[in-house]
Structure 1
Amino acid sequence: MSAVEQPAVAHLDELHGLPVHDFTGSGDPLPAAGTVAWRLSLDAYAEDSEDDTDGPDAYEKLWQSFLTAVDPAGVRALVVGAWGDAAAEDSREAVRLLVEAREQLTGLLAVFVGDLAPEEAALSWIGQSDMTPLLTAYPHLQELGIRGGADLVLGPVRHGHLRTLAVESAGLRADVVRALGASDLPALEYLELWLGVPECGGNTAVADLAPLLAGERLPALRHLGLRNSAEQDAIAGAVAAAPVVARLASLDLSLGTLGDEGAAALLAGQPLTHLSWLDLHHHFLGDKAAQAVRDALEPAGVEVDLDDAMEAGAGEPRHVAVEE
């Protein structure tokens, strides 16, 4: 979660500053519970599976094996990988197991749900579920990442310790965005939302972002990412006048369909020279518009990422980076 270029969708290699370690249940020597981010994932397409990692209860068996093999109270970060066939099963059972283990995982600070790479499932295939119980069960959680927007539910919550929230989606529904806007998250410093395209359920309108852009319930916010959107120009126009921007250290409008109109709106709005970096990579700016952004911001010390310049052919629509 930084300005350093990463693949749009890939397996995590770290979470909460800890390297990801796969728990396989093989009986091999294990690192100390709090020194790694533990990844629990099934190979849904393995032809030959052992009895304890096959069948409808396979993920629960792996989970119970994990809680037996490590000191649950020492676990600081958990990565939920494939819980089965992502096209047929959503994350509700994985989330249920996490919620039920709240009295064992007393030191848990970070969770990522849905760490699947494209070879396992397209982003739009990953079925999520209601994440509200997860936030309620872990009031001291500091970081929550979610990959996949299909069937994702989030009710308005108050959470006093959450610092980082990221939702990677090919289509994020408006009700999820509105619920976030109605939530009280006084410690949240980093918010990243991939809004996606209508074909994958992304029906968030700019008006749905208004409470987030006002920032009244996000007093600690320092990074805002509104990424992978088919409406990136309209979002840029709203961001240009958003009260929350004056408090940000970094702004990310990458992976979407940003064009000259959106860039002009950004430059015509409130000053952005206080930012440390502005990420616009994967964009549709012409050379003159891109240079205007650089000329306006780089002399003030803003690091501007304008990599991955795209070009739509005549009569062709612009496309987001991850649209399925």
Structure 2
Amino acid sequence: MERRSIRRASPLLLVLGFGFIIAVYNVLSMVISSKSSVPDIESENSHVVLGTPGAKFHVALTATEDPYSQWQSRIMYYWYKRMRGMVGSDLGEFTRILHSGKADNLMEEIPSFVVDPLPKGLDHDYVVLNRPWAFVQWLERAQIKEEYILMAEPDHILVNPLPNLAQGKSRPAGFPFFYIEPEKNEKIIRKYYPEENGPVMNIDPIGNSPSIIDKDLLWKIAPTWMNVSLRMKEDDETDKAFGWVLEMYAYAVASALHGVKHVLRKDFMLQPPWDLEIGNKFILHYTYGCDYNMKGELTYGTIGEWRFDKRSYLDGPPPRNLSLPPQGVPESVVRLVKMVNEATEKIPGWDAVKEA
């Protein structure tokens, strides 16, 4: 696939560029027809991995230079390295896409690619709005040798060797999120996915991450994803309805506008404390706080006598050797803390204060 280099542009030129993309999108939305098949949802208990085994995928996560993002990225990269050479893994190379516009102090530790943030004010202090714009720039400028890409996030930990779950180039693999509900939000969705494109059920209940997708297919979706995200954020009704998952809805809509259906894999990811066992799942996502009393009972919504919550460490990394949870706490939470502890023990200079 031919790539064109992107030079750094002024905020004004970027905004003008966004205007052009919006114009292109308006044309695309009238001519692109989406597929009408019902999405496939693989059983979360299935031991059969249906995908494209042996086809390596590039691991890409977007991040900032903030301490909160940095310590999560370091743990994620540690477990990527541990899992990469294991039997059954199709992990290729790794890139932290840093959308701060400048290098930080982790460039030598983690393979990183610096891209520009959105022009000042355009993200409305919603930092993840930079994610689609970051992918547009990275796909345009980077040399990516793998044919597939795993879009991941800093708070992901690989817990089992991850094969390529995509079913060929036209069927990316995604994770179904219970809170992404296009059909329940049809009135809003129709602002971005007109009726001529087909039923709202064509839109998968996903975000961009985690997903394993053909590189050229992502190349087509990413500009639309960026444009839809910006349009959604500018619309007060949409912004209020979708909140912190707005950018996820935008990716789902953008994929449908390009006629792309994802194979939905419940085994792609687990999210403690709600998912209790690791089993055959591949990615542990520690986005939710884990609060328990000393009897091992969940006290979600109330700070527990024992807790692990990534938001407790907004200004710096968690200490080494975190205390293990009380007896009776689910395996998924115990495994999470053990994996964090292993990474923080093994990563050099973990306790040192890093300055950008």
TM-score category, normalised to shorter length? under 0.3
When normalised by structure 1's length, the TM-score is 0.27
When normalised by structure 2's length, the TM-score is 0.26
